[in-house]
């Protein structure tokens, strides 16, 4: 049975010279949207486009896809995988994008949204929203280098004013961007205040290219409201997807999660992480996943604390076995304390 208000997510959409069959995307998530997690999402199905973790344009130029912590993928996912890159130098960004194209990705995404201090101090991510001319120069250089779909993910800017965000949307479109993912929060705001969904509507009305809304979509009602309020062409979900990797299948394929879905998903991700990463890296990434996954449970703090303190992967497995030995109490809506 289709979810009321979400029917449009199953409609095809043209992005540049290519088409997608579904409009619900996995948002780019550093340390979370990795190869193992994307494989888990793909096994459930229903996702439109997958986005990689944020990848440094400078390191992409020489990285080995089989050993890189971020720039790695499965051949089976390339046709709907978009690689997100960050950097400040237009030529380096262009060369990185050219490699992404040569590897057969669906598209490339420029990050103008990350507001983490270590990224902004390097003049990358959301810091480039302070200097529009630099941002446009990067987009223009990347556009000249590739003909695959070009995406930009960005925020409002550094002040709560929609005018610059609209102007950026127009500028990005002018420089050849094929689609936008807009997260309507100011750059310094690390989710302390609700996103301005009405700003998504302003951006959408200003441009002719597809606009994907992003920010605080935690259930099907949120998604339906965002679509109705903003008129956006699709939705990119991040934290909800980490908490419930089957959500794309549930909304787009009418998938009915079995009662033990949380147990199945957690153990399967642990298995996939073990297959793709060395034990230390797999442990770090499962801990990061567990923080958001804990939002499903009434006693999520206890679950996350045990995972965080687990010394190795066998210890994580033992924690999961004990936690799911009897069905844990689940929240009717994700616990917001784990979504900051």
pLDDT for position 193: 82
Q: Is residue 1 part of a domain?
A: no
- Give the CATH number of the domain where residue 138 resides: 3.20.20.70
Q: Is residue 138 part of a domain?
A: yes
211 in the same domain as 164: yes
User: What range defines the domain where residue 280 resides?
Assistant: 261-338
Q: Is residue 199 part of a domain?
A: yes
284 in the same domain as 217: no
Question: Who contacts 289 (Cβ-Cβ below 8 Å, separation ≥6)?
Answer: 32, 37, 242, 269
Which of 193, 220, 252 terminates a domain? The answer is: 252
269 in the same domain as 200: no
pLDDT for position 287: 98
Q: Is residue 3 part of a domain?
A: no
106 in the same domain as 164: yes
pLDDT for position 336: 81
245 in the same domain as 302: no
85 in the same domain as 107: yes
27 in the same domain as 153: yes
185 in the same domain as 298: no
Q: Is residue 154 part of a domain?
A: yes
Query: Radius of gyration over alpha carbons of the chain, in Å?
Result: 19
pLDDT for position 308: 97
pLDDT for position 340: 72
pLDDT for position 83: 98
Q: Which residues are catalytic?
A: 114
Q: 241 to each of 177, 276, 306, how far by Cα in Å? A: 26, 20, 22
266 in the same domain as 129: no
191 in the same domain as 98: yes
- Burial of residue 64 (CB within 10 Å: 0-12, 13-18, 19+) is exposed
Series of mean pLDDT values for 10-residue runs along the chain (340 residues): 75 97 96 97 97 97 95 97 98 98 98 94 96 98 98 96 97 98 89 89 98 96 97 97 98 93 98 98 98 96 97 98 96 85
Alpha helices in the chain (DSSP H): 35-44, 57-60, 90-102, 117-120, 132-145, 162-174, 197-206, 220-230, 239-243, 247-252, 261-276, 279-293, 300-309, 313-323
Residue 176: φ, ψ to 5°: 105, 10
Cα three-residue angle 274-262-268, rounded to 5 degrees: 20
Q: Is residue 116 part of a domain?
A: yes
Q: Is residue 321 part of a domain?
A: yes
Q: How many domains, in total, are found in the chain? A: 2
Question: Which residues share a beta bridge with 332?
Answer: none
pLDDT for position 190: 67
228 in the same domain as 123: yes
Q: Is residue 268 part of a domain?
A: yes
Which of 228, 252, 276 terminates a domain? The answer is: 252
164 in the same domain as 124: yes
pLDDT for position 337: 82
Which of 194, 221, 252 terminates a domain? The answer is: 252
């Amino acid at each position: 049975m289709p979810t009321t208000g979400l029917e449009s997510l199953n409609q095809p959409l043209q992005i540049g010279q290519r088409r997608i069959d579904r409009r619900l995307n996995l948002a780019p998530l550093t340390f979370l949207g990795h190869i193992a997690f994307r494989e888990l999402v793909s096994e459930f199905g229903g996702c439109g486009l997958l986005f990689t973790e944020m990848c440094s344009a400078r390191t992409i130029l020489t990285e080995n896809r089989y050993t890189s912590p971020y720039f790695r993928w499965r051949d089976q996912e390339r046709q709907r995988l978009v690689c997100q890159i960050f950097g400040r130098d237009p030529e380096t960004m262009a060369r990185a994008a050219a490699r992404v194209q040569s590897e057969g990705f669906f598209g490339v995404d420029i990050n103008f949204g990350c507001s983490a201090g270590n990224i902004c101090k390097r003049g990358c991510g959301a810091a480039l929203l302070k200097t529009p001319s630099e941002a446009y120069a990067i987009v223009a250089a990347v556009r000249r280098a590739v003909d695959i779909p070009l995406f930009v993910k960005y925020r409002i800017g550094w002040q709560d004013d929609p005018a610059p965000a609209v102007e950026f949307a127009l500028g990005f479109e002018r420089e050849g961007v094929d689609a936008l993912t807009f997260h309507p929060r100011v750059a310094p705001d690390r989710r302390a205040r609700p996103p301005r969904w009405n700003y998504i509507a302003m951006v959408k009305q200003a441009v002719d290219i597809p606009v994907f809304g992003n920010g605080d979509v935690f259930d099907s009602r949120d998604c339906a409201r965002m679509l109705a309020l903003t008129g956006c062409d699709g939705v990119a979900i991040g934290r909800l997807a980490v908490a419930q990797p089957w959500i794309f299948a549930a909304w787009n394929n009418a998938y009915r999660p079995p009662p033990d879905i949380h147990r199945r998903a957690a153990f399967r991700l642990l298995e996939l992480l073990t297959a793709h990463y060395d034990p230390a890296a797999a442990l770090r990434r499962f801990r990061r996943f567990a923080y958001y996954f804990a939002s499903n449970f009434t006693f999520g703090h206890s679950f996350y604390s045990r995972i965080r303190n687990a010394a190795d992967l066998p210890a994580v497995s033992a924690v999961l076995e004990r936690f799911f030995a009897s069905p844990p109490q689940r929240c009717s809506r994700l616990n917001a304390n784990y979504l900051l």
